[in-house]
Amino acid sequence: MIVITGASGQLGRLVIEELLNRLPAAQIVAAVRDPAKAADLAARGVQVRAADYTKPETLDAAFKGADKLLLISSSEVGQRVAQHRNVIDAAKRAGVGVVAYTSILRADTSPLGLAAEHRETEALLKASGLPHVLLRNSWYTENYLASVPPALAHGVFIGSAGEGKISSAARADYAAAAAAVLVAPNQAGKVYELAGDEAYTLAELAAEITRQSGKTVVYQNLSEADFAAALQGVGLPAPLAVMLADSDIGASKGGLFSADHQLSHLIGRPTTPLGKLLKATLV
């Protein structure tokens, strides 16, 4: 039995779809904060169990009988270490055979501020003694594509990533990798550094938006403070704006670049090209 946390989220849903192609639905558990959100999965035979990272008693029930567990990192940035600790403790109590965790690219050396909670979670996993495998994911291409509509409206794509190359991949690529690891034997102890086959700077992304849309979009590189202020100016909450600006600075230092193609090797196909995802965004 394979349990997926965060299964109502965007990555979690894609992992469940991948697993449904490989396993009987009854062997898959969608562990979700709100089971009503996963009623469609229950209707397809997936076991849906309540699991809130902040409520350890729900985690004990959700992980019962789990051979493998995918801990999808929480979206509640700043709360994640305590939440993940609850998950790891419950996995230990349940005697889970192997835990896979969605971390960040080169978490141990990453310049991104976001990496701190992942480093701490990796340390908790190590200290727990649980067999575990790290899925260190680079950026989702979808993160940057969310900025395409405002870039088209203003003719400017803003960021702080400078000349940093970004090896992003689609959520679906990372989901395929997670599913491949979950169904494979002997994964304990492995560390996968997962990133897209293609790397681009934000200026190259702006050029691709221009090419596909026919509307000129130029990249404007801002200081970290100016980018964070601009993001707040369009309504993003301050912590999110600061986190995104810091992540771009991390990207400018190469924190989201990788040329080793581990992701495409793992999933047995090339990662989804930026141009393909952009095309779908522009439709």
Which stretch in 31-39, 148-156, 187-195, 212-220 sits in contact with ligand NAP by CB under 6 A? 31-39
Phi-psi region of 189 (alpha: psi -120 to 50; beta: other; left: phi over 0): left
| Beta-ladder partners of 169 | 140
**Among the listed residues 103, 110, 137, 221, the single contact to ligand NAP using CB under 6 A:** 137
Which residues fall within 8 angstroms of residue 43, CB to CB, at 6 or more apart? none
Asked if 260 interacts with ligand NAP (CB under 6 A), we say no
Given the DSSP bridges, would you call strands 132-137 and 98-104 parallel, antiparallel or unpaired?
Answer: parallel
Task: Report the first-to-last Cα separation within the chain, whole angstroms.
Answer: 39
Binding mask 95-124 for ligand NAP (x = CB under 6 A): -------x----------------------
Is the CB of 102 or the CB of 210 nearer to ligand NAP? 102
Is the CB of 83 or the CB of 210 nearer to ligand NAP? 83
Contact present, 83 and 53 (Cβ < 8 Å)? yes
**Among the listed residues 54, 149, 211, 275, the single contact to ligand NAP using CB under 6 A:** 54
| CA pair distance 49, 102, nearest whole angstrom | 20
Q: Locate tokens 């393909």: which residue?
A: 276
Minimum separation from the CB atom of position 215 to ligand NAP (A): 26
Binding mask 140-179 for ligand NAP (x = CB under 6 A): x--x---------------------------x--------
Asked if 72 interacts with ligand NAP (CB under 6 A), we say yes
DSSP H/E element including 5: strand 2-5
Q: What is the DSSP string of 98-155?
A: EEEEEEETTTTT--STTHHHHHHHHHHHHHHT--EEEEEE--BHHHHHTTHHHHHHHT
Asked if 37 interacts with ligand NAP (CB under 6 A), we say yes
Asked if 57 interacts with ligand NAP (CB under 6 A), we say no
Asked if 40 interacts with ligand NAP (CB under 6 A), we say no
Is the CB of 206 or the CB of 263 nearer to ligand NAP? 263
| CA pair distance 240, 237, nearest whole angstrom | 5
Which stretch in 2-10, 156-164, 195-203, 259-267 sits in contact with ligand NAP by CB under 6 A? 2-10
Minimum separation from the CB atom of position 251 to ligand NAP (A): 11
Footprint on this chain of ligand NAP (rule: CB under 6 A): 6, 8-12, 33-34, 37, 51-54, 72-76, 83, 102, 137, 139-140, 143, 171
